[in-house]
Amino acid sequence: MPIYNQTLKDLLPLSLSSTPAVSIRKENEIWVATGMLIHQLESFADSLVVTEEDEKPIGVIGGREIIENIFKNPTSEFFDETKVIQVMNKDLTIISEKIKLKELLEKWKQTRRAFSIIPNNLGGYSAISGRKLLEIGANCTTNLTISELPQKEVTTFDLNDTMRDIINLMLEKNTRKLRLKNTNNFISDRLIIQTVAQDLNFFRNTTFLDQKIKKSFKLEEAKKISKDVNLAEISKIMYGMLHPYIFFQDQVITPWDICMALQSDRIEFLG
The CATH architecture one would assign to domain 142-266 is Roll (3.10)
- Determine the average pLDDT of the residues in 238-249: 91
Q: Would you say the pTM of this structure is higher than 0.95?
A: no
Q: Summarize pLDDT for 40-58 with one digit per residue, the tens.
A: 887 777 899 999 988 999 9
In this prediction, residue 209 carries a pLDDT of 87
* Predicted local confidence at residue 40, as pLDDT: 84
Lowest mean pLDDT among 22-31, 86-95, 149-158: 149-158
Least confident range from 44-53, 74-83, 99-108, 197-206: namely 197-206
In this structure, the strands spanning 48-51 and 140-142 are: unpaired
Domain boundaries of the chain, sorted by first residue? 3-141, 142-266
CB 67 within 8 A of CB 57: no
Reported confidence tier of residue 266, pLDDT bands at 50, 70, 90 = very high
Average pLDDT of the chain is: 92
C-alpha to C-alpha distance for 229 and 169, rounded to whole angstroms:
30
For residue 271, pLDDT over 70 is answered with no
Share of the chain above pLDDT 90, in %: 79
> Does the domain made of 3-141 have the CATH classification 3.10.580.10?
yes
Q: Rounded to an integer, what distance in angstroms lies between the CA atom of residue 11 and that of residue 265?
A: 16
The region, left, alpha or beta by phi > 0 then psi within -120 to 50, assigned to residue 177 is beta
Q: Are 56 and 156 in contact (CB under 8 A)?
A: no
User: Is residue 114 pLDDT above 80, yes or no?
Assistant: yes
Domain 3-141 identical in fold to domain 142-266: yes
Q: pLDDT tens-digit profile of 188-221?
A: 999 999 988 988 889 887 778 888 888 777 899 9
